[in-house]
Chains A and B, each alone.
Chain A
């Protein structure tokens, strides 16, 4: 029931957004979101309702957290090279 990945908002009409998952589109109600959302934002959608807005910077922040842990354990960890950051594959 739970869509793990965020989708991108491509249109908003009243209480409803059209959300794109790399070509697959669904609609999501916005009344349980509680924060403003704009076209281009990413949202987490659960059973037809958006529950959280995310910005691409949130993704970079996540990678920074991973690397922070790795750096703190430097003896064994092999932190990725600078060029890797943000290259979600």
Chain B
């Protein structure tokens, strides 16, 4: 047995699909997940094909690259243009800012580097006297890594442009949007590995909302869908853990402690959604010397949000699927992306493009 955690056996998949048919209520239900990795599993394995028409699965704001506000991208572009070495995760370099992407800045001489981990930015800054800025995006899974490098005596020429965001407040905010109509949530597996299941309790009880934490193998996703449907059938909305091999009630306490030491919770803007209270992280005063926002003032960074014709804001709030956008796969493709959802590898538009138009069919 080489892959003890690969759950893809067709027989169980069929049995779970049958269970879903049995559990699905007569009326339409809309289940929202908040994780590009879930969407990849669903699209890649054609899981929507196994669901009855009335059970819809949509991706919400689960792509950290896509929800990074234009203003932060503009600031990163400006810092790179001003001569800093700008390090960030791959997809970030191609996300449109107001006028330019980081890749555009690189093409005119800026030093923009792609890293796979925060530690690489530290390694780069140890080898130079120049300013190195790590543009840190990501949810609760990634924020502890940014905390780790700052707790590990980073060199003084390193600073961090923090754009980390928190998932449970975004899940709650989505419910307040017109046309949200969410019947249940599949909570992201690895965010939950870090934060545990407790942070979803308030959301679930206040909104009477099923919240099932799901894993990423095809059977994990089918199982999570079945549990959401069972909660709907039984009218017993609650937080349920369908991924106990990776998620506990209290989560990864070490990672949480590192985050709490380095960051404080703040109100931040989400691209396509707007400002959500207490939904992001900012560096604490103590780490001010490493805060790119304090070190390099951002006056005049414009942050224009709207891209004509792009429906990312509806896609990111699970109120549209990529195929609803007239530009999808016509004018907007991964090679010629119009909006951020076609750039981020976890963006719904790019995932649907990769796995074939409308994965439902």
Contact = CB atoms under 8 A, between A and B. Distances in A.
A and B bind? yes
Most B Cβ at <10 Å: residue of A2, A5, A65, A79 = A2
B19 interface: yes
B331 interface: no
Contacts of A56: 4
A15 B15 CA distance: 43
B190 A49 contact: no
Contact of A80 (B15, B35, B189, B346): B15
Interface string A42-66: 1010111101101010110111011
Contact of B119 (A29, A70, A86): A29
A75 B22 contact: yes
A63 B1 CA distance: 15
Contact of A76 (B2, B3, B21, B119): B21
A5 B35 contact: no
A45 B152 CA distance: 19
A22 to B, nearest CB: 6
B12 A84 contact: yes
B301 interface: no
B138 interface: yes
A65 B16 CA distance: 12
Contacts of A69: 16, 19, 223, 226-227, 230
Interface string B158-175: 000000000000000000
B25 interface: no
Contacts of A31: 148, 152, 254, 258
Interface in B1-53: 1-12, 14-16, 18-19, 21-23, 35-37, 40-41
A39 interface: no
B244 interface: yes
B293 to A, nearest CB: 21
B245 A58 contact: yes
Contacts of A78: 11, 14-15, 18
Contacts of B5: 5-6, 42, 54, 58-59, 62, 88
A76 B18 contact: yes
B15 A49 contact: no
B144 interface: yes
8 contacts: A1-B138, A1-B346, A46-B142, A52-B252, A54-B245, A70-B19, A73-B22, A84-B9
Given A4-B37, A69-B227, 14 more contacts: A4-B190, A32-B147, A33-B255, A47-B89, A51-B190, A51-B252, A58-B246, A66-B16, A69-B223, A70-B12, A75-B22, A84-B12, A88-B1, A88-B4
B3 A32 contact: no
Interface residues of B, number: 64
A77 interface: yes
Nearest to A67: B12
A79 B15 contact: yes
A35 B10 CA distance: 34
A56 to B, nearest CB: 5
A80 B21 CA distance: 18
Contacts of A66: 7, 12, 16, 219, 223
B116 interface: yes
Contacts of B227: 69
A88 B12 CA distance: 11
Nearest to B63: A1
B36 A2 contact: yes
B67 interface: no
Contacts of B18: 76-78
A89 B12 CA distance: 11
Contact of A4 (B15, B21, B118, B216): B216
Nearest to A31: B148
